[in-house]
Amino acid sequence: MLGAAYLSDSQRVEEEKERRKAAVKPINERIARLREESVRAEVKLSVERARLITEFYRSEEVKGESIPVQRALAFKYLLEHVSLPVEEDQLIVGLRGTGPKEVPTYPEICVHSMEDLEVLDSRKNMPYKVDEKAKEVYKNEIIPFWKGGSMRDIIFSSLPQEWKDAYEAGVWTEFMEQRAPGHTAGGERVFKKGLLAIKEEIRQKMEELDPCDPEYYEKMEELKAMNIVADALIIYAKRYAEKLEKMAEEEINLQRKEELIQMAQICRWVPANAPRTFWEALQHYWFIHVGITYETNPWDSFTPGRLDQHLYPFYERDIKEGKLTRERAKELLEAFWIKFNNQPAVPKVGVTLEESFTYNDFSKINIGGLKEDGADAVNELSYLILEVLDEMRTMQPNTAVLISGRNPISFLIKTLKVVAPGFGEPPIFNFDGAVVKMLRQGKRLEDARKCGVSGCVETGAFGKEAYILTGYLNLPKILEITLNDGVDPRTKKRIGIETGDPRKFETFEELLDAFLRQLKHFVSLKVKGNDIIETLYAKYLPVPFLSLWIEDCKKCKGLQLRWSEI
């Protein structure tokens, strides 16, 4: 073989294909077919969600309702009308969009312009194909209705001019102009609670509310909203059950017919009720994941968190009772893997539209680490998930292997063998260090030991907090502004503070001091903007469905009513 330095571009591509092919382990025929469909599917923009959400807000149903209830009714309208795609031979159902890798948009958060759609359709790196019909819907329905009324418009009309000047100069980006809070991870509640039980919790909270409380109305409206969205996902699952039953009637393959019947039965049980089996637990989670990502566009995405911990009781019980084999569990996990890969990230707008070339929604599955009592958390599913990752090698979901000094060396060695082919997965994290980090943030020891990694590399207490990502800070730009005494040389505007003419500085320390003062000014300005933006989201775009799954709200004993504490 030629030395790497002498390979042509085409030879490099072919060598990479062979290397990756050699790294992929054999998978069964069903999963191989589903994986091939997923990997080869063209990423497209779907206007179905945008059209439906616009239909709802144009209707009479929205009038006279509080914003939380409007949001809940909009979610219910979506789940009553969205498409119900079923990939051929899949074992898990539900998909945010109209088909594999067909991506919805969220005009109530930000409206893509016609220019945005052209860029998405034509860019060389990772395009989102936009057909002519979709462009017409955007031109004639979506843009005219939402122009001036999206969260992005509300945000920029509410921020101070000095904040906007710094933004336009490139001192920072602002993620919240195009995505909602929701970058978080599920905890135990997701796998232990059914929606009927949650509805009973909501009923009890309604009865406990004090009518003399000055916030009685706001709290009651939030609870009403959560009750509505709980019903909405039950309706969505029932629609799938009915579709699967019809498919079973028409299916001639007896094995597939039996699978479709069983899948329909699962959809009639979860998410209304807590899952009882391994298969039900995977379907239960996936319905919740689709619901959260239909409600808003929480890029980086919602994630199942410590999956080996959550699923192990179902796995262990099903194995003991003879309902499940290890190979069947792997097949179900691999089908689950493909569901993530079929949901690419929502397309961006503005500067990130031009610069962020990735389909990855960054849902991250965590394995390993410690249990709440400090014991080693590695179990049979930890190894099985590593095998799934080794065999699948898909872009999504991402993984995080949490390594503690209390984990067996065999787990680390198995992880390194999966890493060895060079696919880039899984990343390895020092879990003992993460626990210390959580304790320094004021977390309880028990919560710290149940933490993990989500998104890119964010660490947090799973199921109990959100990470509201607000953008990137451009330090070289701040240095440039410092070297121009607070003036942006591109726009000629004074956007920083006066720190002195750098030509008169006699020492490096003088320049460093000026830079740090300029940095403090911009960080303070950015944080003030963050406070405004988060307040606006709490007021205008609450997330009642996601709030069902977040624990430990101080005033609501387990039910988070808003992202800002009410």
Per-residue b/e over 214-232, b at no fewer than 16 CB within 10 Å? eeeebbbbbbbbbbbbbbb
Give me the pLDDT at residue 1, please: 34
Residue 353 has pLDDT above 90, yes or no: no
Residue 564 has pLDDT above 60, yes or no: no
Give me the pLDDT at residue 182, please: 78
Residue 8 has pLDDT above 50, yes or no: no
Give me the pLDDT at residue 559, please: 39
Helix (H) or strand (E) holding 366: strand 364-368
Which three-class secondary structure state does DSSP give residue 81? helix
Look up the pTM and report it: 0.91
Q: Which of 446, 563, 402, 380 is nearest to 187 (CA)?
A: 446
Average pLDDT of span 406-418: 97
| Per-residue CA distances from 269 to 196, 258, 462, 522, 557 (Å) | 11, 17, 26, 52, 26
pLDDT interval class at 17 (50, 70, 90): low
CA angle 443, 399, 309 (to 5 degrees): 60
Q: What is the pLDDT of residues 58-73, one digit of tens each?
A: 998 888 999 999 999 9
Lowest mean pLDDT among 19-23, 370-374, 427-431, 493-497: 19-23
Q: What is the pLDDT of residues 470-515, one digit of tens each?
A: 888 999 999 999 999 999 999 899 999 999 999 999 999 999 999 9
The answer to whether the CB of 530 falls within 8 A of the CB of 56 is no
Is residue 16 packed enough to be buried (19+ CB in 10 Å), middle (13-18) or exposed (0-12)?
A: exposed
For the chain, domain boundaries: 30-106+112-146+180-296+301-468+541-547
Per-residue b/e over 271-307, b at no fewer than 16 CB within 10 Å? bbbbbbbbbbbbbbbbbbbbbbbbbbbbbbbbbbbbb
Q: What is the pLDDT of residues 261-293, one digit of tens each?
A: 999 999 999 999 999 999 999 999 999 999 999
Q: What is the pLDDT of residues 373-391, one digit of tens each?
A: 999 999 999 999 999 999 9
The DSSP code for 344 is P
Q: What is the pLDDT of residues 193-221, one digit of tens each?
A: 999 999 999 999 999 999 999 999 999 99
Give me the pLDDT at residue 455, please: 84
Give me the pLDDT at residue 552, please: 58
Q: What is the pLDDT of residues 144-153, one digit of tens each?
A: 999 999 999 9
What rounded mean pLDDT belongs to the chain? 91
- Cis bond before residue 271 (omega within 30° of 0): yes
The first and second tokens of residue 406, run together, are 């209390």
pLDDT interval class at 563 (50, 70, 90): very low
Tell me which of 141, 162, 372, 458 is the catalytic residue: 458
Residue 234 has pLDDT above 70, yes or no: yes
Contacts of 30 (CB under 8 A, 6+ apart): 89, 331, 335
Percent of the chain whose pLDDT exceeds 70: 92
What are φ and ψ of residue 85, in 5° steps? -65, 140
Interatomic CA distance for residues 467 and 294, integer angstroms: 19
User: Other C-beta atoms within 10 Å of 259: how many?
Assistant: 18
What are φ and ψ of residue 114, in 5° steps? -60, -35
Helices (H) and strands (E) counted in the chain, each on its own, are 24, 8
Query: Own/partner pairs for 39-43, CB < 8 Å, 24+ apart?
Result: 39/341, 39/394, 41/99, 41/100, 41/101, 41/342, 42/101, 42/129, 43/101, 43/102, 43/103, 43/126, 43/127, 43/128, 43/129, 43/344, 43/359
Q: Which of 493, 280, 307 is nearest to 385 (CA)?
A: 307
Which three-class secondary structure state does DSSP give residue 103? strand
Interatomic CA distance for residues 223 and 202, integer angstroms: 6
Residue 125 has pLDDT above 60, yes or no: yes
Helix (H) or strand (E) holding 429: strand 428-430
- Answer yes or no: 456 catalytic: yes
Contacts of 120 (CB under 8 A, 6+ apart): 45, 112, 127, 128, 130, 347, 353
Interatomic CA distance for residues 345 and 104, integer angstroms: 9
Looking up tokens 């040389």 gives 489
Interatomic CA distance for residues 553 and 564, integer angstroms: 10
pLDDT interval class at 18 (50, 70, 90): low
- Answer yes or no: 110 catalytic: no
Give me the pLDDT at residue 25, please: 56
Residue 561 has pLDDT above 90, yes or no: no
Q: What is the CATH number of domain 30-106+112-146+180-296+301-468+541-547?
A: 3.20.70.20
The answer to whether the CB of 75 falls within 8 A of the CB of 544 is yes
Is residue 417 packed enough to be buried (19+ CB in 10 Å), middle (13-18) or exposed (0-12)?
A: exposed
Give me the pLDDT at residue 12, please: 44
Q: What is the dihedral of CA 124, 128, 134, 135, to 10 degrees?
A: -40
Average pLDDT of span 8-19: 50
Helix (H) or strand (E) holding 453: strand 452-454
- More confident position, 95 or 461: 95
pLDDT interval class at 361 (50, 70, 90): confident
Residue 355 has pLDDT above 80, yes or no: no
Interatomic CA distance for residues 406 and 408, integer angstroms: 7
Contacts of 442 (CB under 8 A, 6+ apart): none
Tell me which of 14, 249, 456, 498 is the catalytic residue: 456
Q: Which of 268, 273, 286, 287 is nearest to 337 (CA)?
A: 286
Average pLDDT of span 10-15: 50
